[in-house]
Copies of this chain bind each other. A is one copy, B any other.
Amino acid sequence: MLLHNYLEKQKIAIDEALDTLLPPEDQFPPQLHKAMRYCLFAGGKRIRPILAIAAAEAVGGNPENIIQEASALELIHTFTLIHDDLPAMDNDDYRRGVLATHKVFGEAMAILAGDALLTEAFKILSLGCRSGLHKPDHIVEIIEVVAEASGSRGIVGGQVVDIDSEGKTIDKEHLEYIHHHKTGSLITASVLLGGTLAHGTNQEIEHLKTYGTAIGLAFQITDDILDVTGSSEELGKSTGSDCNKGKATYPRILGIDQAEGKKRELYQEAIHALHSFDEKADHLRELGLYIIERHC
């Protein structure tokens, strides 16, 4: 199947799952449930859930069995977007091509909608045994992985250092800390979630982790490059905003050419990590290429 069709098919399945799993808009209190759904369904490529699904395929699992758990990753991602956009943080007005949640629902509701999405993600993960599809010890394992990736030693830690670094001169190691934590940690957790729930061996899980770490950093370098070279229409948010905020980015520290080089090097690393996998890992390989060659 062409990657484009694969992405489309998985996105539909994930969006259906998200719609079923989240409380409906009219459930009390409706303004909260509207706010929770607003940014979530404004767009988004669903890269993290799709990476989880492709990782499950790579170890021979049935991707349909992990759609719900994969979807929970998108709730965590959306929570980080809503909180990052807040006036006290990055103060961004647009996200996924529409006004940011705090611009539409107000700051208090944006904070609370983010909190509720984060919490809902763990609720959904905890439901994974009910279907009989997953063993409780696997569910506990992925909850640990996702929590570790999302908290002070993951996304939140990365965001703290990112905000703290604005307008400062930081070196490449410092920037990589931010990227690995703010972006890489949840991408790595996504492939680990898919691999674990689909009963990957310890060795397979190790290889998936190497793939995730490399492709996670490549993902963020691509974002950094697109912030300079991309069109705001395609990206659904202002371009040049990182630069305007004095944020450190790969192109700023290394220049565009070296940033491009680093991105391709990481892609090769990611592909190499999959060398012992057969053609069932082809979607994961293609996703790697898609991640570094996308325009939005």
Cα of A134 to Cα of B79 in the assembled complex, Å: 30
Contact A123 B148 (CB under 8 A): yes
Contact A164 B29 (CB under 8 A): yes
Known contacts A31-B160, A129-B137, A160-B29; decide if A151 and B108 are in contact (CB<8 Å): no
Report the minimum CB–CB distance from A80 to chain B (whole Å): 9
Please classify how large the interface on chain A is, using the bins under 10, 10 to 19, 20 to 34, 35 or more: 35 or more
Closest to A161 in B: B29
Residues of the B chain whose Cβ atoms lie less than 8 Å from the Cβ of A287? none
Contact A32 B147 (CB under 8 A): no
Known contacts A89-B108, A120-B147, A148-B123; decide if A115 and B29 are in contact (CB<8 Å): no
> Which of chain A's residues 102-156 have a Cβ closer than 8 Å to chain B?
106-109, 111-112, 114-116, 118-120, 122-123, 125-129, 135-137, 139-141, 143-144, 147-148, 150-154, 156
Contact B32 A120 (CB under 8 A): no
Contact with B along A20-47 (1 / 0, CB 8 A): 0001000111011100100000000000
Contact A32 B157 (CB under 8 A): yes
Whether A88 is near chain B, meaning CB under 8 Å from some CB there, is yes
Contact B111 A151 (CB under 8 A): no
Contact A118 B120 (CB under 8 A): no
Residues of the B chain whose Cβ atoms lie less than 8 Å from the Cβ of A111? 83, 86, 88-89, 111
Whether A163 is near chain B, meaning CB under 8 Å from some CB there, is yes
Residues of the B chain whose Cβ atoms lie less than 8 Å from the Cβ of A28? 157, 161, 177
Contact A108 B88 (CB under 8 A): yes
Residues of the B chain whose Cβ atoms lie less than 8 Å from the Cβ of A148? 123
Can you list 29 residue pairs at the A/B interface with Cβ under 8 Å? A23-B152, A31-B160, A32-B152, A32-B156, A33-B152, A79-B115, A83-B112, A86-B108, A88-B106, A88-B107, A88-B111, A109-B160, A111-B111, A112-B156, A112-B159, A115-B115, A115-B118, A116-B157, A119-B150, A119-B151, A119-B154, A120-B147, A120-B151, A122-B143, A122-B147, A126-B147, A129-B140, A140-B140, A143-B143
